[in-house]
Amino acid sequence: MSSSAQGHTADSADFDVFNGDADGLCALQQLRLAEPRKTVLVTGCKRDIALVERLPRVPGARVTVLDISLARNRAAVLDRLDCGMVFTYFDHHAAGEAFQHGGFSGHIDTAADVCTSVLVDRHIGGAHRRWAVVGAFGDNLTATAQRLGAALALDPEPLVRLQELGECLNYNAYGDTQADLFVPTAEVYRRMQAYADPLQFIDAEPVLRTIRKGYESDLAQARRILPHQPCAGGLVWLLPHAAWSRRVRGVFANTVVQQHPDLAHAVVAADGAGGHAVSVRAPRTRPRGAAELCMAFPGGGGRCGAAGIDHLPDAQLQDFVKAFGRAFGAAGHSGA
């Protein structure tokens, strides 16, 4: 199973619903090492958020959800609770308005230094903490990962290896469909299942090498793109319709804003469906304005320093470039 509950039968009463990124994978890995259970997997790309609606309605089924926004899945969760399904929910994203239901058990913490792998680590008493370290690194919570590593008395060399694994697992989940990924997310999890120690996974499985090679190739292609400068305070990078550009756009946005921290950046990748996916980064020296800009367009949202637009129609591309210039031009660049 990959992005849907394929393989379900009348006897399949347990489901694991999880984000296919490093945090979702490592959260599930910890949980099932501690609490083994035969389940149907429901997962997808990192950007696949509305996964609960893909579940069949099976009264009495047990559902574990990891690293998927409750706010985005609320209606589907409530619908399946009403039919008698039972949910255990681990997540660190904004959950929306609270609710109570006898069939729902939530482990939700939105603190900035917490990810879903940390929540599962708490739940199982640190029984498989090395995987929590991998998940935290993959979710860009470096300080949290290092703190967990210190609790395990990990030396610098294995900690570096766990960091690379987390970052590569996270990168592998980027793309618009499973076809864009180097290794389908459900397949990554199946390969992980046999390893209580992620360092043994690194040594025994070719997954890390495959993803690392692909990541380096993607980033090299992106770096050959010349930027368009629509204003004094920002650059727009136009990427072609290709699997590599769909994978790399978010990472490339983070890379260029680190290289040019005084500038805003918009990485715009053609999506092959009459539009573009957009990743915006405000200047690191003034991390504001990204969400406001993106929310002016349908499907846009995010945080003040980093935001995006799911699908920007071709006809609105120039409107976006002009709005980007206004947001981060002379006035925005000066901080006025």
Torsion angle of the four alpha carbons 87, 89, 93, 95, in this order, in degrees rounded to the nearest 10: 40
Backbone CA torsion sign across 312, 317, 320, 325: positive
Kindly report, residue by residue over 80-133, the tens digit of the pLDDT.
Answer: 999 999 999 999 987 888 888 999 999 999 898 999 999 999 999 999 999 999
pLDDT digits (tens, 9 = 90+) for 128-176: 999 999 999 999 899 999 999 999 999 999 999 999 999 999 999 998 8
Q: Is the pLDDT of residue 283 over 50?
A: yes
State residue 162's pLDDT score: 98
Q: What pTM does this model have?
A: 0.84
User: Residue 40 class from Cβ within 10 Å (0-12 exposed, 13-18 middle, 19+ buried)?
Assistant: buried
pLDDT tens, residue by residue, 219-269: 999 999 999 888 889 999 999 999 999 999 888 998 899 899 999 999 999
- What is the C-alpha to C-alpha distance for residues 295 and 139, in angstroms, rounded to an integer? 24
Res 9: pLDDT: 43
pLDDT digits (tens, 9 = 90+) for 48-88: 889 999 999 999 999 999 999 998 899 999 999 999 999 99
Delimit the domains of the chain by residue range. 14-214, 225-334
Residue 274, token pair as written in the block: 């009459």
Residue entry with tokens 């292609």: 221
Q: Which CATH class is domain 225-334?
A: alpha beta
Q: Give the span between the Cα atoms of 28 and 89, in whole angstroms.
A: 11
Nearest to 253 by CA among 234, 262, 266: 266
pLDDT band at 4 (very low <50, low <70, confident <90, very high): very low
Find the mean pLDDT for residues 302-306. 83
Of 29-33, 115-119, 297-301, give the lowest mean pLDDT range. Answer: 297-301
The average confidence (pLDDT) of the chain is 91
Cβ neighbours of 221 (radius 10 Å): 16
CATH number of 14-214: 3.90.1640
pLDDT attached to residue 330: 57
Helices 129-138, 156-172: crossing angle, 10 deg rounding? 60
CA distances from 35 to 1, 28, 77, 127 (A): 20, 10, 23, 11
3-state secondary structure of 42: strand
Which pLDDT does position 332 carry in this prediction?
Answer: 42
**C-alpha dihedral over 25, 90, 156, 183, to 10 degrees?**
10
C-alpha to C-alpha distance for 152 and 131, rounded to whole angstroms: 12
Q: Is the pLDDT of residue 7 over 50?
A: no
Q: At residue 87, what are phi and psi to the nearest 5 degrees?
A: -120, 135
Least confident of 16-20, 71-75, 247-251, 332-336: 332-336
- DSSP assignments along 291-304, one per residue: HHHHHTSTTEEE-S
Residue 8 has pLDDT above 70, yes or no: no
Q: What integer pLDDT is reported at residue 326 of this predicted model?
A: 95
Q: In the beta sheet, which residues pair with residue 90?
A: 66, 107
